[in-house]
Amino acid sequence: MPTPSPRAAAAHLLDQILGEHRQMSELLATGALDRLQAPDRARAQRLATQTLKGMERADTLLAKHLRKPPPLPVMNILRLGTTELCHGGDAHGVVNECVGLIAGNARFARLKGLVNAVLRKVAADGPAEWANLPVPHLSDWLRGPLTEAYDATAVAGFEAAHFAGAPLDLTPKGDANALAQAVGGTALPTGSVRLQDAGQISALPGYEAGDWWVQDAAAAIPARVLAALPGEAVLDMCAAPGGKTLQLAATGADVTALDISDARMARVRENLARTGLNAGLVTGDALTHEGSYDAILLDAPCSATGTIRRHPDLPYARDGSEIGDLIALQAAMLDRALGLLKPGGRLLYCTCSLLPDEGECQIDEALVRHSSLSVDRAALNLPGIDPAWITEEGGLRLRPDYWGDLGGMDGFYIALLRT
């Protein structure tokens, strides 16, 4: 079987995400792009991601030339071609290959003429129109709850940040300014290093030496708030993919990394080896885990709605139906974590969600269930943290529209609890 082109692979990703509601991360982990060489894998993923981010714009342009939407695989190739054309792709090459992809599909070969005609029209007028179209909206299942929780300006800011996408952030093992100089990046106020155009990650200075790891700047804040001390017994309760485990291990704490997935734990193991850091790895269920710890970091399973700027497939792979079960699981994990703390211990609860039910509301309800529990507001007094981000109950609400002039950040909720 011949190796697919990056465009063909990108079209396959779109078919799986939009047709089968699978997540990009799942597809990549199960080998969807393994037959491609590294540069082609990166291009296929970039094409699919770019198409998902701008799909509303692509559909608007295509609607002018379609009497009705064609079957999904054909529509996805039209979306892919439209997006690439409107981002400066060579019209001849883009149109010809998209037509060829349909011509090679026995089910839809009869529609190659349609694809050819439509994309040629898009090539003529699409690029000029693209930039004047509105910023794509979030899916209805997510936009509704966000509109209830935030004002219209904030939601519009989220959508603009999602459409803009995300630069690459690195967490340094040492000095952020030195790493920024070495990789040609910018040291952020909270201690991360940001690159606007990173290229091949493994080719960056310090990768082989383990001087840093990839981690969004917002995701690096919870471990800094927990502020583990050398020698403390610390549990990273849902550890994979391991960025926070690495941060905790770098403090000199005695870290236990716990995750239910052995496959995901393999990545934690690889990152520890590359960075030369140490942690005990345990594959198991957080709800039945036993132990006694000075501090626990619980990055609880959640809707991940704060990560859409990096994962534009999420609104299409999910429909929100799982959120109720996730909220119940978060509460159970939070209660279990409190039971694993030594007297006077501290628990850092966080989720990469924009939904208050997975953040602020969880802490409000935990304070009712546990009368001895308190929220440590002072722990949020860190470099780069705007006091306006601190919420009524004493947590930290991070949003994609924050740091807009720097490239934004993931949405996160963070709270430090003391027993």
Alpha-carbon span 95 to 83, nearest angstrom: 12
301 preceded by a cis bond (ω within 30 of 0): no
pTM confidence score: 0.94
Q: Residue 1 — very low, low, confident or very high, per pLDDT cuts 50/70/90?
A: low
The residue whose two tokens read 């006091």 is: 387
Active site (annotated) includes residue 352: yes
Residue 34 confidence (pLDDT): 93
DSSP-derived secondary structure letter, 134: P
- CB-CB contact of 321 with 272 (8 Å): no
pLDDT at 197 over 90: no
Q: Which residues contact 290 (CB under 8 A, 6 or more apart)?
A: 340
Percent share of the chain, pLDDT over 90: 96
Catalytic residue among 86, 238, 352, 361: 352
Q: Specify whether domain 6-130 bears CATH 3.40.190.10.
A: no
Read off the pLDDT of residues 133-168 as tens digits, 9 standing for 90 and up.
999 999 999 999 999 999 999 999 999 999 999 999
* Rounded to 5°, angle at Cα 85 from 82 and 90: 140
- Closest C-alpha among 95, 50, 57 to residue 77: 95
Sheet containing strand 193-195, edge to edge, reads: 186-187, 193-195, 168-172, 212-214
Read off the pLDDT of residues 315-327 as tens digits, 9 standing for 90 and up.
999 999 999 999 9
Would you say the CATH fold of 216-418 matches that of 6-130?
no
Read off the pLDDT of residues 88-126 as tens digits, 9 standing for 90 and up.
999 999 999 999 999 999 999 999 999 999 999 999 999
Read off the pLDDT of residues 383-403 as tens digits, 9 standing for 90 and up.
999 999 999 999 999 999 999
Q: Residue 187 — very low, low, confident or very high, per pLDDT cuts 50/70/90?
A: very high
Read off the pLDDT of residues 347-362 as tens digits, 9 standing for 90 and up.
999 999 999 999 999 9
Buried b (16+ CB within 10 A) or exposed e, 314-340: bbbbbebeebeebbebbbebbebbbeb
Q: Residue 202 — very low, low, confident or very high, per pLDDT cuts 50/70/90?
A: confident
Q: Which residues contact 180 (CB under 8 A, 6 or more apart)?
A: 186, 187, 193
Kindly state the tokens that stand for 191.
């201690």
Summary mean pLDDT of the chain: 96
Alpha-carbon span 320 to 11, nearest angstrom: 25
Q: Domain boundaries in the chain? A: 6-130, 168-214, 216-418
The DSSP bridge partners found for residue 341 are 293
**Which overall architecture, per CATH, does domain 216-418 show?**
3-Layer(aba) Sandwich (3.40)
Alpha-carbon span 162 to 158, nearest angstrom: 6
The sign of the CA dihedral 64, 67, 68, 74 is: negative
pLDDT at 199 over 90: no
Pairing of strands 341-351, 374-375: unpaired
